[in-house]
Structure 1
Amino acid sequence: MKQAKWFLILHIFLGIYASSSVCSKLAARQPFLSVPFILLYGAMLLALVVYAFGWQQVIKHLPLTTAYANKAVTVVWGILLGFLLFGETVTPRQILGAIVIIIGIVLFVRADHEGEDQS
């Protein structure tokens, strides 16, 4: 149960990491050095700092291989955020790719846990 909590926390931090891209995309639409530009790039940097500190906490509680394998989910977050916030089209190829990523993460984490159980 404790690991499930840290998986959830990991994915929250990965969502924050993905949101930094949203801030940079929004900032790129603003005039250079305008107030919105500076605020959005500041938000991007803040998201990266929060993610970095969160990542350090997560790897104290989850195996590094498991945590690092889950970083691939940021691609899925990117697809979802692009669709929800920017109205980007999600193609069948992207959906298939997201499914492959999720299946890969699940298989890797299961294999990693089976390896720990045998040790």
Structure 2
Amino acid sequence: MRLRTYLGLHLLLVMYSLSGIFSKLASSAPFLSLSFFLCYGAVLLILFVYALGWQQVIKRMPLSAAFANKAVTVVWGIVWGLTIFHEPVNLFKIVGAGIIIAGIVLFSLSDSGASQEGRDASHV
């Protein structure tokens, strides 16, 4: 169950990171043009679905764990920038992304260890 919640959270965060793509596309469209409205409409739709999904996630996991995982959107921003907008990726960005991922993993491991200790103590 916990793995399913984390998987759902990360799929939701990938979707959330897509709002940045549509924001950037809208910024390059002529103001008040059809493409401008379509891109900003996509941003609003993504944020609406994200808000609903976020409520479901924080119902199922601690808020601190959900917010710690939210940092992965920076990594997705690097991926989208490289693949869609052909933005350069340098060593500092790669190291930064690695630090973010390591932090999320360490936080998740410490969080699961603490919750296991709490369950063990309640059975004594």
TM-score by length of 2: 0.92
The residue aligned with 1:100 is 99
Which is higher, the Rg of structure 1 or of structure 2? 2
TM-score by length of 1: 0.96
The residue aligned with 2:86 is 87
The residue aligned with 1:4 is 3
State the aligned residue count: 118
- Give 1:78 deviation, angstroms: 0.4
Q: Kindly report which structure 2 residues correspond to 1:35-114, keeping only aligned pairs within 5 A, or say none.
A: 35-114=34-113
In structure 1, the gaps of 5 or more residues are none
Helix, strand or coil at the partner of 2:31: coil
The residue aligned with 2:24 is 25
One-letter amino acid of the structure 1 residue matched with residue 86 of structure 2: G
Q: Within 1, Cα distance between the matches of 2:64 and 2:114?
A: 12
Cα-Cα RMSD? 0.7
Q: Which string of whole-angstrom CA distances, capped at 9 and with x for unpartnered residues, describes residues 46-73 of structure 1? A: 1111111110011111221111100000
Helix, strand or coil at the partner of 1:33: coil
In structure 2, the gaps of 5 or more residues are 119-124
Q: Within 2, Cα distance between the matches of 1:84 and 1:11?
A: 19
